[in-house]
Amino acid sequence: MAIKVLVVDDSAVVRQVLVSLLSEVRDIDVIGAASDPIFAMKKMAQTWPDVIVLDIEMPRMDGITFLKKLMAERPTPVVICSTLTERGAEVTMQAMASGAVDIITKPKSGLKGFLQDSKTELVSAIRGAAVARMSRMKGSSPAEDRSVKLTADRVLPPASSRVIETTDRIVAIGTSTGGTQALEAVLTRLPSSAPGIVVVQHMPAQFTRAFAQRLDSLCQVRVKEGENNDRVIPGQVLIAPGGRHMLLRRSGAQYRVEVKDGPLVSRHRPSVDVLFRSVASAAGRNALGIIMTGMGDDGARGLLELHQTGARTLGQNEASCVVYGMPKEAFKLGAVDKELPLSEIPAAIIGQVL
């Protein structure tokens, strides 16, 4: 059955392009387009969409207000279509915190070409949103070819079989759809003495910094967007910047991150597979790998490599995932030592390393 999609954006150009692009996709049925939430609600009274593609700044009612109303009354998957600006990033983080499932970015100019180039990313986001479990939700260069699925081999070689064990412990977390809320649920429950943590959350460039800043304001641990050569230290979480890979490196007795460009791996940059493989190489059995909610299979092979070094590996269980995709694929590969509900992951992190 086709996914019923409603587009809500005050730009006539955006509405026209999105409707045209999505109408070409066999499993998507665009049931309408509206210039603001007021008009959208009139259309929804006739036919309720499976997924809403929503702009933030609109007349009469802004996207955040509409989103909160929607989540309170009838939770429905929402993909935010937001402008690539600092202000846009901050507001979009509010939308994600309010229950939006995913983000698609749009520039201020060159809109038509940009959206056409981003068709694969947009369709993937809509498909992921369509299978999202809304009961589990709280209140990259677009022109690249995502049809070719590259592996972590394109960024770094596989881990060697021997990694020197130290007393330092590293936690590596990978997540995607539904991950912003899942990460908040985990990180806000960690003490300031928690181990050093490295994270890949699939998110466009310019949004990860605002996401990290928001988490930093809520958590006892310090949360920041990872920068090249940042040390991985207890009490700090480094989130991979959108549009770039983040790798763990060993420097003597210290762990640091390397932030670098590179091709899309498992159709993503940053890629969880790349992070996990680097953790397998740098930390091995000194690490704890955790794969959480998300569509697709990014991170599954990387977690298996980490598991094979003797590291402990965890997966978020199906019942607590917004989308049980990435953890499912990792579990099928035999990469997961144990599946846990989201509520038990913070305690597992503390119990494993403290």
Q: What is the CATH number of the domain that holds 24?
A: 3.40.50.2300
Integer Cα distance of 350 and 354 in angstroms: 5
Residue 82 lies in a domain: yes
pLDDT value, residue 104: 84
Q: What is the pLDDT of residue 95?
A: 87
């499912």: which residue's tokens? 328
Q: Are 164 and 80 contained in the same domain?
A: no
Please identify every residue annotated as catalytic. Answer: 176, 202, 298
Exposed (0-12), middle (13-18) or buried (19+): which is 192, by Cβ within 10 Å?
exposed
* Strand-strand pairing, 236-239 and 196-201: parallel
What is the reported pLDDT for 140? 30
Q: Residue 137: inside a domain, yes or no? A: no
Domain span at 206 = 152-353
Residue 137, judged by CB atoms within 10 A of its CB (0-12, 13-18, 19+), counts as: buried
Asked if 342 and 186 touch (Cβ cutoff 8 Å), the reply is yes
Stated pTM of the model: 0.82
Report the domain count for the chain.
Answer: 2
Q: Find the DSSP H helices in the chain.
A: 12-22, 37-44, 63-73, 86-97, 111-117, 119-130, 179-187, 207-218, 272-282, 300-308, 326-332, 345-353
Q: Would residue 143 count as lying in a domain?
A: no
Residues 172 and 79 in one domain: no
CATH number at residue 268: 3.40.50.180
Query: Is 317 inside a domain boundary?
Result: yes
Question: First-to-last CA distance in the chain?
Answer: 49
Q: Which of 82, 100, 130 is the last residue of a domain?
A: 130
CA distance 288 to 267: 24
Tell me, yes or no, whether 173 and 296 share the same domain. Answer: yes
158 in the same domain as 120: no
- The pLDDT score that the predictor gives to residue 70 is 92
- Looking at the fold, whether 126 and 179 belong to one and the same domain comes out as no
Q: Give the type of residue at 55.
A: D
Residue 224 within a domain = yes
In this structure, the answer to whether residues 122 and 162 fall within a common structural domain is no
Tell me whether residue 145 is in a domain. Answer: no
Burial class, 119, CB count within 10 angstroms (exposed 0-12 / middle 13-18 / buried 19+) = middle
Helices and strands, number each (H, E), in the chain: 12, 14
Based on the fold, state whether residues 114 and 215 are members of the same structural domain. Answer: no
Longest CA–CA separation in the chain, Å: 64
pLDDT score for 32: 96
In whole angstroms, what is the distance from residue 97 CA to residue 180 CA?
7
Are 310 and 241 in a shared domain? Answer: yes
Same domain (yes/no): 126, 188: no
Angle (nearest 5°) at CA 249 between 294 and 283: 75
- Which tokens is 95 given? 């939308």
pLDDT in tens, the chain (354 residues): 899 999 999 999 889 989 999 999 999 999 999 999 999 999 999 999 999 999 988 888 888 999 999 998 899 999 998 876 666 678 888 888 888 998 888 766 676 676 666 788 889 899 999 999 887 665 433 344 444 455 565 555 665 545 555 557 899 999 998 999 999 999 999 999 999 999 999 988 888 999 999 999 999 999 999 999 999 999 999 999 999 999 999 988 899 999 999 998 888 999 999 999 999 999 999 999 999 999 889 999 999 999 999 999 999 999 999 999 999 999 999 999 999 999 999 999 998 543
Contacting residues for 266 by C-beta, under 8 A, at least 6 apart: 149, 150, 151, 152, 272, 273, 296, 297, 298, 299, 301
> CA-CA distance, 238 to 278, in Å (whole number)?
15
- Whole-number pLDDT of residue 9: 94
pLDDT of residue 305: 96
Q: How many CB atoms lie within 10 A of CB 153?
A: 11
- Residue 140, domain member (yes or no): no
**Does 308 lie in the same domain as 186?**
yes
Please check whether residue 142 lies inside any domain of the structure: no
Let me know: does 159 contact 153? Beta carbons within 8 Å.
Answer: no
Residue 9 φ/ψ, nearest 5 degrees: -160, 135
Please state the φ and ψ torsions of residue 94, each to the nearest 5 degrees.
-65, -40
Residue 146 has what pLDDT?
Answer: 45
For residues 180 and 118, membership in a common domain is answered with: no
Q: What are the tokens at 251?
A: 């420097």
Alpha-carbon distance of 222 to 217, in angstroms, equals 9
Q: Quick one: 115 and 179 in the same domain?
A: no
